[in-house]
Amino acid sequence: MKKLLIGLVVVLLLGLGGGYFFGWYFQPEQDQVTELPVVTAEPLPEQDIQLFFASQDDGLLVQEAAQIPVCSNDADCVRSLVEALVAGSRQNGLAVLPAQTRLLGAEIENDLVRLNFSAELVNFHPGGSLAELQTIYSLANSLSVSFPYIRQVQILVNAEVRQTLKGHARIDQPVYADYSFNSQQQVPKKPPGLSIDGLIEEAVEN
């Protein structure tokens, strides 16, 4: 009886040892690394636009090519263009919009676009006739050249019409693009609308 029990124990131990050995021998390599497929995001398509910044030489507007993401509707295109103007020039042009400027909304009606800016546009603007005209015509000309169906721009601040941008250049009416303010004169024909002189408040000196 004792020998039988010893034999059973031996057989059990051999079985356990053999199972462990075969399990260890046939197990997959632990250090084998399964390579996962690398997913690369396709770059978003872009569209070309033209921006106008102030020249360091004479204060006139100089044209600069840029790109914005392809947009699903016209208002998004306008918003992206304004944001690109706020971001500033990549070719040493002077800023025409304060870096703190936020566009709260863009509304398009036929050839008119209404731009509703936050108060930062005024609060952080340096003011003065030249700087205000640079801002106004940078917006109008950039939009008109980039989106030819847009011919006039209405600038609002907190959804309200202001008499002037900051005491000098009038923005109480829609403004037409005026390429005579451009340094390079790419488009010499000027659409009808308020002239540069007409935008300046005569009662307020620079």
Higher-confidence residue of 10 and 72: namely 72
Residue 125 confidence (pLDDT) above 50: yes
Residue 31 confidence (pLDDT) above 60: no
pLDDT of residue 204: 44
Least confident range from 33-37, 156-160, 174-178, 191-195: namely 191-195
Identify the sign of the CA torsion 141, 143, 147, 149: negative
pTM, 2 dp:
0.71
- E-assigned strands of the chain? 46-54, 61-69, 103-109, 112-117, 152-157, 160-161, 175-176
Residue 11 confidence (pLDDT) above 70: no
pLDDT of residue 192: 39
